[in-house]
Amino acid sequence: MSEQNTTRERVVLAYSGGLDTSVAIGWIAEATGAEVIAVAVDVGQGGEDLEVIRQRALDCGAVEAYVADAREEFASEYCVPALKANALYMDAYPLVSALSRPVIVKHLVTAAKQFGATTVAHGCTGKGNDQVRFEVGITSLAPELTCIAPVRDLALTRDKAIDYADRHNLPIETTKSNPFSIDQNVWGRAVETGFLEDIWNGPTKDVYSYTDDPTFPPPADEVVIAFERGVPVAIDGMSVTPLGAVEEMNRRAGAQGVGRIDIVEDRLVGIKSREIYEAPGAMALIAAHQELENVTIEREQARFKKTVGQRWTELVYDGQWFSPLKDSLDAFIEDTQRHVTGEIRLVLHGGRAVVTGRRSDSSLYDFNLATYDTGDSFDQSSARGFIDIYGLPAKLAAARENAS
């Protein structure tokens, strides 16, 4: 699509193809007098074809529609860095939604520049994390752009959206009700609201889609995942792209019920929120990657990497993907992956991904040092002097306490 000049202001809208963002096209135009450019980015959320979504945006009043298949980009440039960081927010959540926002932001900014827009719009409310992720990301990449949120800033409630769609005969379903708010992509699926807001209520079967019930699993599935410099490159000897690796592990780990997460989470805006996540591929790949790091990364480097990985995770969760600190942490994490090459064998069964084997030409595991049998090369006579020196500070402190 070629860039066009216009005397009217233009707004780029993050467009999903659903009711709220379809209504937002006309809603924004009426509230601001601007033309609306719809931007749809496929990060593996499934559903309708991009061409169908593009045409719906035009039918709902968009003057242009920008669509992008970003699945490979998302897997390689966003999911893989999270895997290298072993990114688990609050030690549990693999950043499903947080990772997808910066790639969507990147395409929103690209579209804004291509079509001469001055404003970017998104469908977030004022209570969630995503409003921060979108707006901080957008202004980090393009400080000249402004941001609006129709739900938050222009009073677009769901009741008003249904009424607007009916009055304007928009080509969108308005009667189907879903009790949950769902966000999904290739890295996982997030479910919230409805009866889940009572944190005593357990999730029902209809909450889940990416994973089968682990209570009655099929026979155990053994899988060998090969990594090169921290990146998954083969599964059971078959070469895969990062996207292929995640999709294959979604299928196989999902069939075993791996990756179900139920957590009360600390949101950036200061409230706690109950979230259900499904991330079978992400959780299985992180389990394998962590164990390969245990084999190949030196002890002190590994200890410090945990601190760096946690901070990296917090930054991404908090919408700081494009921040200078994240760039610096990326450099450290990438350096730690130089020797993270090898294979990990996992057994997937009954909701668990268990490592049962490791091998690497870069391994720091020395069989002759570790063995207690014949061939032991560890000089055990060195241990006594090491213990004396290592324990000396504590010994002196204890003597002081006993003398007082």
Catalytic residue numbers read 20, 101, 130, 181
3-state secondary structure of 138: helix
Return the residue matching tokens 């790949």. 285
CA distance 178 to 16: 16
Q: Is 123 part of any known ligand binding site?
A: yes
Question: d(Cα 59, Cα 169) in Å, to the nearest integer?
Answer: 10
- Residue 57, marked binder: no
- The verdict on whether residue 331 carries a ligand-binding annotation is no
Q: Is 76 annotated as a binding residue?
A: no
Tokens of 311: 């901070």
Residue 194 labeled ligand binder: no
181 is in an annotated binding site: yes
Q: Are 117 and 6 in contact (CB under 8 A)?
A: no
> Is 46 assigned a ligand-binding role in the annotation?
no
125 annotated ligand binder:
yes
The response to whether 133 counts as a known ligand-binding position is yes
Residues 6+ apart with CB under 8 A from 221: 252, 255, 256, 347, 348, 349
Two tokens at 230? 């921290």
- Is position 18 annotated in a ligand binding site? yes
**Alpha-carbon gap, residue 60 to 40, rounded angstroms:** 14
Spatial distance between the Cα atoms of 136 and 142, rounded to a whole number of angstroms: 10
Q: In angstroms, rounded to a whole number, what is the distance separating the alpha carbons of residues 387 and 301? A: 23
Tell me whether residue 404 is annotated as binding: no
H helix runs in 256-391, sequence order = 280-296, 299-317, 324-336, 367-370, 382-390
Q: Residue 376 annotated as binding? A: no
Instruction: Answer yes or no: is 17 a known binding residue.
Output: yes
SS3 at position 39: strand
14 annotated as ligand-binding: yes
Whether residue 289 contacts residue 340, with contact meaning beta carbons closer than 8 Å, is answered with yes
Task: Identify the residue whose tokens are 């669509």.
Answer: 67
**313 assigned to a ligand binding site:** no
- Core vs surface per residue 184-195: b (16+ CB within 10 A) or e: bbbbbbbbbeee
Q: CA–CA separation, 302 vs 316, rounded Å?
A: 21
Number of Cβ within a 10 Å radius of residue 179:
11
The response to whether 19 counts as a known ligand-binding position is: yes
What dihedral angle (degrees, nearest 10) is formed by the CA atoms of 356, 348, 223, 254? Answer: -150
For residues 260 and 213, give the distance between their C-alpha atoms in angstroms, rounded to a whole number.
10
Q: Are strands 221-228 and 188-192 parallel, antiparallel or unpaired?
A: unpaired
Pairing of strands 146-148, 119-121: parallel
Going by the annotation, the residues of the binding site for L-citrulline are 93, 129, 133, 181, 265, 277
Going by the annotation, the residues of the binding site for ATP are 14-22, 123
Going by the annotation, the residues of the binding site are 14-22, 93, 123, 125, 129-130, 133, 181, 265, 277
